[in-house]
A and B are shown apart, each in its own frame.
Chain A
Amino acid sequence: KNQVEQSPQSLIILEGKNCTLQCNYTVSPFSNLRWYKQDTGRGPVSLTIMTFSENTKSNGRYTATLDADTKQSSLHITASQLSDSASYICVVSRLTGGGNKLTFGTGTQLKVEL
């Protein structure tokens, strides 16, 4: 069964600290892995997209890693800011005859406090 599991479910950190979010998946055949940020009351916005051959990708203070052998990914946030408070969703895509099919994780709810 194609599944994406994220941990932790929620996380509270102090502003300026770093944190790492985890994503494990069983989606097959793998096409790409994406991390989205979803602010409260808004739609998800893409942070990074990684294909099989990429094991690290950065977008500003966000760095995603991918280990396709162990089917794990992480999202590292450096020097957190209050605006980083959001849900972070891991999405794994498999390529089918009908195009990319996405499997979404349930997200990690991050709260950054003063």
Chain B
Amino acid sequence: DAEITQSPRHKITETGRQVTLACHQTWNHNNMFWYRQDLGHGLRLIHYSYGVQDTNKGEVSDGYSVSRSNTEDLPLTLESAASSQTSVYFCASSESPGAYEQYFGPGTRLTVT
């Protein structure tokens, strides 16, 4: 069955370190998204991609970057981790930009100390 996976599921890192969160989907979807989820906030879009070599900034992109070298993967990099980036991160994918359905991964809980 097609799925979307994230790794690691839990990560503790120190302030200032570079961290990369992995997202891999086997739906063969062109569109992939990264969100963060914090208490008191709905999921907020960090970055998204509509295809290989395409990346776009979301509403909370500062301090994050993504790259899309193939259809299946969209890694999220925190260039220099900050305590404000402690959060739960979700990756999602959809068939097309206009598609209604987004499929979410299980999430990565990141703690920056």
Contact = CB atoms under 8 A, between A and B. Distances in A.
Interface of A: 4, 32, 34, 41-46, 49, 89, 91, 93, 95, 98-107
Nearest to B107: A43
Interface stretch (B42-50, B63-71, B77-85): B42-50
B8 interface: no
B42 A44 contact: no
Interface residues on B, range: 20 to 34
A98 B104 contact: no
A43 B100 CA distance: 17
B99 interface: yes
A89 B92 CA distance: 15
Contact of B45 (A93, A102, A107): A102
Contacts, number: 50
B42 A45 contact: no
A49 B98 CA distance: 13
B90 A103 contact: no
A79 B41 CA distance: 29
Interface string B47-78: 00010000010000000000000000000000
B107 A89 contact: no
B43 A104 contact: yes
A107 B42 contact: yes
B104 A49 contact: no
B97 A100 contact: yes
Contacts of A95: 98
